[in-house]
Homo-oligomer: A and B are copies of this chain.
């Protein structure tokens, strides 16, 4: 791929990032009750006032990250929005659970009343991400401490005792290793340790290493497949749950592992990340007929039971772009850049809405827009801007070193 082509990519990605940031600055802020609207229609209109906590936390994180690390977003408008979102979260997201610990709600009313609490760790994890990143831009040490305390609790749920999550113990519900859990924790380890020096890095080193081992357990079938759920001792589970593949998720794990391998200079993990978590999921997940990445697959070729299995969602494509570009920047293998460009072409010719800005999130298998909103219960200001932000930085770096 020529330098000119890469420069065009960067230019386009830069414009897209500006466009997406503008969209959310314009339409998502609730200036009455605080926090962010997340259900935003094609043209920016709020079609539901519920506030999804994952997305509140992710938006705070993304605003802060942009403010802190990209000069053109170092603007008071963005900082103020992040601070306001953080206040809303701190005020309303935490609900005390029956076990006396804090749980974070999954969903709040516009004025902050808890509507739903999930019996998982993810609302808490995005709360931690938000608080840690916000504390970096505000210098608020209390907030940083709060993030660390919440982190301790999440680690306790995952590694020691999950009963505080509120799931009933059932004889047929044996514990599993779901890839999302070690991925999420690894992401938090990277968040909490980044740039904080050796002491903090060492504090979380063991946990990071545990997460990596847990993720590597998902390499199954003699290294030919990444499976989304495995047993706690790393063997294949029976039935649909055991055969499930989520290519976008594996690709996301791939770039998490690449970041880890760079931090600890671990070449074996780098190789595994690229071969098993980037190339393999792409090979199995790419739709040879219509292009794009499937959402779910069954490793034995059965039809997944998820009704949306063949749909093309924005986020697996966002994750694939990051994964291939990062893999290329680590190795300079041209085939990885070719893959990046293949995903790039599908993504940018299908997801962005040239008319009203931002990206559509949900396409049919054939690539037609199936759901036309820009924000919903699971799509907020996160995967799109994180992808554009990371790709822009990677391209900056690649082009600088080429010149």
Chain A interface residues (CB < 8 Å from chain B): 39, 41-42, 47-50, 95, 98, 105, 107-109, 113-117, 166, 168, 170-173, 238-240, 298, 302-305, 307-311, 362, 364-365, 370-373, 376-377
Contact = CB atoms under 8 A, between A and B. Distances in A.
Given A307-B362, A307-B371, 11 more contacts: A39-B239, A39-B240, A41-B303, A47-B240, A50-B240, A109-B172, A114-B172, A115-B170, A116-B173, A302-B373, A307-B307
A292 to B, nearest CB: 15
A372 B304 CA distance: 9
Copies of this chain = 2
Contact of A170 (B47, B117, B303, B376): B117
14 contacts: A39-B240, A41-B303, A47-B240, A47-B298, A48-B238, A48-B240, A50-B240, A108-B172, A114-B170, A114-B171, A116-B170, A302-B373, A307-B311, A307-B362
A239 B48 contact: yes
Given A50-B239, A310-B370, A95 B41 contact: no
A295 to B, nearest CB: 9
Most B CB within 10 A of own CB, among A98, A116, A307: A307
A372 B303 contact: yes
Given A303-B372, A307-B362, A307-B371, A170 B95 contact: yes
9 closest A-B pairs (Cβ-Cβ)? A113-B172, A115-B172, A48-B239, A307-B308, A109-B172, A113-B171, A114-B170, A48-B240, A47-B302
A319 to B, nearest CB: 18
Nearest to A370: B310
Contacts of A377: 305
B115 A173 contact: yes
Contacts of A98: 168
A357 B114 CA distance: 47
A308 B370 CA distance: 9
A94 to B, nearest CB: 13
A305 B39 contact: yes
Most B CB within 10 A of own CB, among A41, A48, A365: A48
A371 B305 contact: yes
Contacts of A305: 39, 48, 371, 373, 376-377
Nearest to A300: B47
A303 B370 CA distance: 9
Contacts of A376: 305
Given A49-B239, A238-B49, A239-B50, A113 B170 contact: yes
Nearest to A298: B47
A98 B98 CA distance: 13
A16 to B, nearest CB: 22
Nearest to A310: B370
Contacts of A42: 303
A367 to B, nearest CB: 13
A190 to B, nearest CB: 30
A35 to B, nearest CB: 13
